[in-house]
Amino acid sequence: MALGPEIYDTPAAGPEKDRRLFVYNGGFLTQRRMRRILQLAGHSLHLGLPRAGDAVAVWGNSPTAHRGLSVAQKRGVPVVRVEDAMLRSLFPGRAGEPPLGLLIDHKGLHFDPRQPSDLETLLATHPLDDTALLDRARGCTARIQEAHLTKYTAFSVDTPPPDPGYVLVIDQTRGDASVTASGADRSRFLEMLVFAQQENPGARIVIKTHPETAKGYRPGHFGPQDENARITLLPDPISPWVLFEGAVRVYTVSSQMGFEAIFAGHKPRVFGQPFYAGWGLTEDEFPVQRRQRTLTRAQIFAAAMILYPTWYDPHRDRLCDLETTIEALAATARAWREDHRGWAASGMSLWKRGPLQQFFGSWSPMVFEDDPARARNNGKAWMVWATKAKIGHGDAVRVEDGFLRSRGLGADLIPPLSLVCDDLGIYYDPHQQSRLEKWIETRSRLRPDQSRRAERLIQTLRTTGLSKYNLGGTVTLDGLPEGPRILVPGQVEDDASIKAGTDRISTNLALLQATRDANPDAVILYKPHPDVEAGLRLGMVDATGLADRVLTQADPISLLADVDEVWTMTSLLGFEALVRGVHVVTLGAPFYAGWGLTDDRGDVPPRRRVDVSLEGLVHATLIDYPRYFDPRSGLACPVEVVMQRLAEADLPHPGLGNRLLAKLQGAFAGKAHLWRKG
């Protein structure tokens, strides 16, 4: 009996005839994600008895593995071992969260040294000398550390570590298959602890408790009875990358943390025989004699994390590369870290509350409370819509729409695909430093992998024509006089970015006048703001005598290919023009001014003194600063997913209630102050 293909709409992209795998473990029957990954990898799952050409799938060394091994031996068919990949999820599998990848091994088990696995074969025989592959390995290593990712990633990066200078001893769960395969038990762990003390006289010993032990799923090898004045247990969920920073040495039996310690600059002391031992990167108490090759950190990472696993993209339901999985997990981890305590939200319009619950309420429902005192003392984190922030909101996180927002206007009640959360200020207000400013400063220097990612984003934006609202529209520029063309984007004149980011030039009329005065011979094209065109916001202006043409119902992004410059107060179109290589003159202080990329004629804060590349600005603005939500999968996601959804118009249609409310809003557009309240 076949299992699995019928549970997903999308067919597998495997070979024409999938290899049949027969299973005798309940996990293959109950875990949809596991079945889907195997299907996409070219395997079909079956119950019954295998024939020649078939194989038996076994989950690691699970207690039920003997069933499949027995059938495989009797039927004379090979065994395929399946295990979770080394970037799995937020929580352990016992919590019910599906994996982001699998290890599908046709030779053995990566953690069992008794016979070579596919991974060991890669490590022993693959050239591992391709420059592009090793560059990818270095970039992925750095990204995993930067995002504080590991196998189980549900921890706060703000959890304080012990004071530096300690020896780190890593505990594992009793019955762990990698421990058993290494021939270890509690006595081996106690031996390791003795060595850690003897080899580091006087040093403090910190024993890191396994996450499953801390959550009560399985006991570990160490407990309170092993603590003393020198030895302490650390059960708190904490980033391993933070722990490695303060450690002087690392001791492990076979934990994945030992593998990670290598990339944090350690040479871990190993008392088992894990896959990463024996390649010159560890101190091995029980070496595997057949492992004689010396590898670099990039080489072992490339084999174990890029070439060996089968990675899954939960947003697009397909197999993917490691980089895609990293960004999917990073987005999920960021959402959990910011949201798991719950949010109290102030100043949120009624129509926004549903989308905000989707964004921020996955782990704990949001509470909407406009009274600052009650919101602050709610016991949850506190946010306020940035434009509604007043005296009393000083310690609340500011929330605003992101820069790749939607297909349609927020004023038309179209929910956002991106939001920004700023714990310092807000990006459009130059009077105080925002979190975006900090990110831009940070990205004044980029790693090669970061530059490549930003370059890909820039190219995608240029080829797809994506913008904040993606309204479309066409316009002809035929019949214009000769001369340099300047595009002047109108803005909503009571917009917060105008109030905060302009001085003497703060109206569309003043902007047009200043542009014309400075460029008497230019061809000036004026593009009114879409909200103003729709009659929903303030900013209508008579451009007669100042603009050579007023472009209504036009896609401003498509215009950028036909103009020489953009003159703006604080419009996001200035940033979008920079992305497309257009010269930009700013008359206010938008977030993208002051970094050496624009001609700034407004009052830009003097603290912006760092020159930033376009790639650095794009990385900070579109990758680091916003959060993104995928309405198809219902998950937090990286920017690339939202870009694809917008480019392909692969978005759910607004519900009937939304459409009716938007129509009612339009009918009362002249009384916008009424419907924008609440």
Q: Is the pLDDT of residue 656 over 80?
A: no
Res 554: pLDDT:
85
Res 183: pLDDT:
94
Res 473: pLDDT:
76
Q: Is the pLDDT of residue 658 over 70?
A: no
| pLDDT level of residue 552 (50, 70, 90 thresholds) | confident
Name the least confident of 65-79, 199-213, 227-241, 472-486: 472-486
| pLDDT level of residue 653 (50, 70, 90 thresholds) | confident
Res 469: pLDDT:
87
- Higher-pLDDT residue of 289, 543: 289
Place of tokens 């109950």: 30
Residue 422 burial by Cβ neighbours in a 10 Å radius (0-12, 13-18, 19+)? buried
Res 412: pLDDT:
77
Res 18: pLDDT:
61
- Higher-pLDDT residue of 493, 329: 329
Res 666: pLDDT:
46
| pLDDT level of residue 520 (50, 70, 90 thresholds) | very high
Q: Give, to the nearest 10 degrees, the angle between helix 353-360 and helix 322-339.
A: 120
Q: Is the pLDDT of residue 204 over 70?
A: yes
- Print burial letters for 267-303: b (CB count within 10 Å at least 16), e (below 16): ebbbbbbbbbbbbebbbbbbebeebeeebebbbbbbb
Return d(Cα 68, Cα 180) in angstroms, integer. Answer: 19
* Angle, CA of 383, 384 and 388, to the nearest 5°: 175
From residue 336, give the alpha-carbon distance in Å to each of 101, 214, 324, 635.
20, 18, 19, 11
Amino acid at 503: D
| pLDDT level of residue 3 (50, 70, 90 thresholds) | low
Max CA separation in the chain (angstroms): 91
Name the least confident of 40-54, 286-300, 404-418: 404-418
Q: Which of 377, 380, 385 is nearest to 347 (CA)?
A: 385
Q: Is the pLDDT of residue 317 over 50?
A: yes
**Stretch 46-59: mean pLDDT, rounded?**
95
Q: Is the pLDDT of residue 612 over 70?
A: yes
Tell me the two tokens of residue 480.
Answer: 């214009």
Residue 558 burial by Cβ neighbours in a 10 Å radius (0-12, 13-18, 19+)? middle
Share of the chain above pLDDT 90, in %: 81
**Stretch 210-219: mean pLDDT, rounded?**
91
- Print burial letters for 4-37: b (CB count within 10 Å at least 16), e (below 16): beeeeeeebebeeebbbbbbbbeebeebebbbbb
Q: Is the pLDDT of residue 9 over 60?
A: no
Return d(Cα 14, Cα 21) in angstroms, integer. Answer: 14
Q: Is the pLDDT of residue 522 over 60?
A: yes
Q: Give the pairing type, strands 397-401 and 381-385.
A: parallel
* Cα dihedral 198→199→200→204 (10° resolution): -50
| pLDDT level of residue 12 (50, 70, 90 thresholds) | very low
Q: Are 396 and 424 in contact (CB under 8 A)?
A: no
**Stretch 265-270: mean pLDDT, rounded?**
98
Tell me the two tokens of residue 213.
Answer: 């032990």
**Stretch 308-336: mean pLDDT, rounded?**
98
Q: Is the pLDDT of residue 670 over 90?
A: no
| pLDDT level of residue 534 (50, 70, 90 thresholds) | low
Q: Is the pLDDT of residue 545 over 60?
A: yes
**Stretch 595-615: mean pLDDT, rounded?**
96
pLDDT tens, residue by residue, 90-142: 998 888 899 999 999 999 999 999 999 999 999 999 999 999 999 999 999 99
Q: Is the pLDDT of residue 428 over 70?
A: yes
Q: Is the pLDDT of residue 668 over 60?
A: no
| pLDDT level of residue 62 (50, 70, 90 thresholds) | confident
- Print burial letters for 563-592: b (CB count within 10 Å at least 16), e (below 16): bebbbbbbbbbbbbbbbeebbbbbbbbbbb
Share of the chain above pLDDT 70, in %: 93
Q: Is the pLDDT of residue 14 over 70?
A: no
| pLDDT level of residue 589 (50, 70, 90 thresholds) | very high
Q: Is the pLDDT of residue 17 over 70?
A: no
Q: Which of 524, 268, 509 is nearest to 280 (CA)?
A: 268
Which residues neighbour 604 within 8 Å (Cβ) at sequence distance 6 or greater? Answer: 430, 586, 589, 593, 594
> Mean pLDDT, the chain, as a whole number?
92
Q: Is the pLDDT of residue 343 over 60?
A: yes
Residue 67 burial by Cβ neighbours in a 10 Å radius (0-12, 13-18, 19+)? middle
Res 276: pLDDT:
98
Q: Is the pLDDT of residue 663 over 70?
A: no
Q: Is the pLDDT of residue 665 over 50?
A: no
Res 674: pLDDT:
46
Chain-centre distance of CA 603, in angstroms?
34
> Can you give the pTM of this predicted structure?
0.93
